[in-house]
Each structure stands twice: as C-alpha cells, then as structure tokens.
A and B are shown apart, each in its own frame.
Chain A
Amino acid sequence: AQSVTQLDSQVPVFEEAPVELRCNYSSSVSVYLFWYVQYPNQGLQLLLKYLSGSTLVKGINGFEAEFNKSQTSFHLRKPSVHISDTAEYFCAVNSGGSNYKLTFGKGTLLTVNP
C-alpha cells in the first residue's frame, strides 16, 4: 500500500520569501512522485515529477523538489515566491509497474502575502 503525508495544511509566506512544502510517502516498492498545483475552481496542473535518475527535479514556475529515499521525502521548494503562487499544492505517489493509480496527500494551501 502507498500513502502520502503532507505535514502542513497551510503555509503563509511573504512575497519574495523562500518556501518549502513538505511531503513524505510510504510505499513497499519503488515509487514515482509528483507535485501538482490547483488554483481555485480549476483542475490539477503538474509542477514536476520524479521517475528515476537525478534526485533533484526542476519543474515549472521556478519550483524544484528533491527525492530523498532514506527519509522517504519529496519536499517542494521555491527560492522566491510570488503572489501568483497562492494555490493548493498536492503531493502524489505511484508505485509503478502495473499499478497506475495515484495516491494524493491532503494538500497544502500556500498563501503568499504582499
């Protein structure tokens, strides 16, 4: 079974400050990891994904995440946030192989204040 824990339900930050959104996962097999962003009343947009290779993954809008197998984490970071980054962020895991289901964390609401 696979599961995802997003430790912070809400993260308020000021504009141009750095931010880290935390994600931990559990899975009995190797994993694929994803971060999605959801703006109000919209669907999900993929920010970045880790499938294999380099553990540091760069995504859209200046976001990056690092896969840490020993800590079973995949934290999302951005060095300087903008007001427009205010949104809900979801971490998701897939255990690969013939299992193509995604398991989502509960989400983190990032609020960027001026």
Chain B
Amino acid sequence: GAVVSQHPSRVICKSGTSVKIECRSLDFQATTMFWYRQFPKKSLMLMATSNEGSKATYEQGVEKDKFLINHASLTLSTLTVTSAHPEDSSFYICSAWSGAGTFDEQFFGPGTRLTVL
C-alpha cells in the first residue's frame, strides 16, 4: 500500500509557541490530504481537508487561524498549531488520497503526539 509519513512523531513545546507538523506521501502524489485530531481513548475527528494549491476546508468548530494548513505540493501538507496551549495537546494524524478516479481509500500517517506544557 501507499506510504504516508509524518514528522515529528512526538513534540513537546511551551505554551505560546507554534509547532509545525509535516505530512508527506512518499510513493504517490496526494491531491487531497486530511488532518485529524484524536483525543485519548476517543475517535478521530476530522479537522480539515486540504487540496494541493488551494485553501484548506475546515470542519465546523475548528479555528482556521489556530490550525494553519498548507498543501503546497502534491507530496507535502503541513499543519501549524499557532500559539499552542495545553488544551491543544493531542494526537494529530494526517491521511492522503491520490485523487485519481473515484475515492476508495485514504492512507494514514503514523501520527504526531503534541504535548504543550
């Protein structure tokens, strides 16, 4: 199957700082990438959908100025958590879809554990 990587796998930062998380599709071109947030012992919550070269579409209740998403190339999307606070601590997972043909599967990255002190 297709491979999606995330970097870093784990990050600890101080409150008020910004953190960037990268999501890369390693062996295919991803027209569309998705960013999810997962709270402890909870399901995945879709935060936003990003299409290469255009602005991300955010789900209701997700602050777009807080969670900046950039999808500048067909293999890279970034999520920047701006002015992070302890409540932003979570597991962030990205996924990617090639966009070719009809939708059949998203390929998931391994996730990034963010801890804000």
Residues of A within 8 A of B (CB): 32, 34, 36, 41-46, 49, 51, 90, 94, 96-97, 99-102, 104-107
Contacts and interface: CB of A to CB of B under 8 A. Distances in A.
Interface residues of B, number: 24
Interface in B24-59: 32, 34, 42-44, 46, 49
A92 to B, nearest CB: 8
The interface residues of chain B, by DSSP majority, are classed as strand
Given A100-B32, A100-B97, A90 B111 contact: no
Interface of B: 1, 4, 6, 32, 34, 42-44, 46, 49, 91, 93, 95, 97, 102-106, 108-111, 113
Contacts of A104: 43-44
Contact of A101 (B49, B91, B104, B108): B49
